[in-house]
Amino acid sequence: MITVPVPLPDRGYEVRIGRFEPAAVAATLLEAMGGSVSGVAVLVDGTVAARSPRVARLVAALGAGLPPGVPVRQYDLPGGEASKTLAEIARTTEWLAENGYDRRAAIVGVGGGAAGDHAGFAAAVYLRGVRFALCPTTLLAMVDASVGGKTAVDLPAGKNLVGAFHQPIAVVADLGFLETLPRREQVAGLAEVAKCGFIADPSLLDALETGGARALELAPEPLIAAAVRVKAEVVAGDEREAGRRAVLNFGHTVGHALEAASGYDLLHGEAVSLGMVAALSLGTSYGVTPAALRDRGRALLAGLGLPVDVERRLTTEVLGRIDVDKKRRGSSVRFVFCTAPGATRFQEIPLDELRTRLQPP
Ligand SMILES: NC(=O)c1ccc[n+]([C@@H]2O[C@H](COP(=O)([O-])OP(=O)(O)OC[C@H]3O[C@@H](n4cnc5c(N)ncnc54)[C@H](O)[C@@H]3O)[C@@H](O)[C@H]2O)c1
Ligand SMILES: [Zn+2]
């Protein structure tokens, strides 16, 4: 078991990573809630609830650990992104109200980044805010979505357009959940781990290079913990996304455009892999990313089983989508470049120039 602290002023919390018995997960969650909790609502990704026996055991263990009369109930969400709508938030919060959850209640989100975002946003708005904890069940949620306190749901107009900052009181990443996670989702999660390597921790790049497609099986705890540490450090230094936190967007400017243009056929991590390849190449064309690092990055991502063939995917439609990216400032983009393993640099690039550089005429 590895514990990574997320040192925020007033509301720091810990991320625990390991293979746990449900009773141990429950004990950690209950300790974080303290003695005053009036009820626990476990909001679970419905697919995870159906596939993983760990969910029922966790709910039972929470019940066993709570004082008599303090209820714990499970509420199944639609699987994956389908839970991230305002309609689902309305359903969940009405269910909370019908079941009498008050301000001293706590929510536990169990699932991938989608269920975590749903649970966190429901916790942020129900009764103007109740406490919540997360049990991430995808690699992406363990290394990325569960850390940082951003919560959001989607609108028809776009992803993550309605949300709030709300920090969890605890995060427990039980590696046992990864057993039922489809291989493609596991590999996609590795893209965010690689991102942490490029922007802050070169040892992660070494580990991914050595382990290749087996990197996660070989050393899941240290790998996940190192990525969580990177995100925790960046977030702790910039809780509300004023500046430094933008390094986490490495690979995301082009990645988001590819993801949206694919109609979300590409998984987020796959799109980010392609976006990182584009960012490395672009960096080389500006003379800020060494060609050797560009080539190494591409080979490393391919070795993990991630897509890297970005050039043929940079269609006019994809390039057009870059301009709807949230991080756009006027007619230019604040682009994150990797200048050496673990090191970054920001550069404002006019949109037209960015498009031309990405897809030379
Ligand atoms: N809040 C943040 O800071 C943040 C950061 C990154 C991503 N996100 C959000 O996270 C979401 C993506 O997260 P994700 O990649 O975890 O996807 P996801 O939550 O949609 O899960 C992917 C799929 O795997 C299934 N699943 C989850 N865990 C499983 C398990 N253990 N076994 C079997 N199936 C399982 C889900 O039902 C879903 O179908 C997006 O909505 C994104 O916006 C949020
Ligand atoms: Zn991402």
198-235 tens-digit pLDDT = 999 999 999 999 999 999 999 999 999 999 999 999 99
Is 159 annotated as catalytic?
A: no
Q: Give the range among 5-19, 95-109, 137-151, 278-292 with minimum mean pLDDT.
A: 5-19
**Sign of the alpha-carbon dihedral angle for 206, 212, 218, 222:** positive
Contact of 43 with 119, CB cutoff 8 Å: yes
Distance of alpha carbon 128 from alpha carbon 93, whole angstroms = 11
Is 150 annotated as catalytic?
A: yes
What is the crossing angle of helices 202-211 and 183-199, to 10°?
140
Calculate how far, in angstroms, residue 360's C-alpha sits from the geometric centre of ligand 1: 35
Is the CB of 114 within 6 Å of ligand 1?
A: yes
pLDDT at 325: 47
Residue 42: strand pairing partners: 74, 108
* Nearest residue by C-alpha to atom 7 in ligand 1: 145
Is 118 annotated as catalytic?
A: no
pLDDT at 323: 65
3-state secondary structure of 170: strand
Neighbours of 60 (CB within 10 A): 15
**pLDDT tens track for 349-361:** 999 899 999 986 6
Calculate how far, in angstroms, residue 326's C-alpha sits from the geometric centre of ligand 2: 14
Q: Probe ligand 1: pick from 161, 185, 240, max atoms within 8 Å of CB?
A: 185
Contact of 77 with 44, CB cutoff 8 Å: yes
Cα distances from 344 to residues 142, 225, 236, 265, 284, in angstroms, run 23, 21, 18, 29, 13
Q: Judging by DSSP bridges, how do beta strands 131-136 and 106-111 pair with one another?
A: parallel
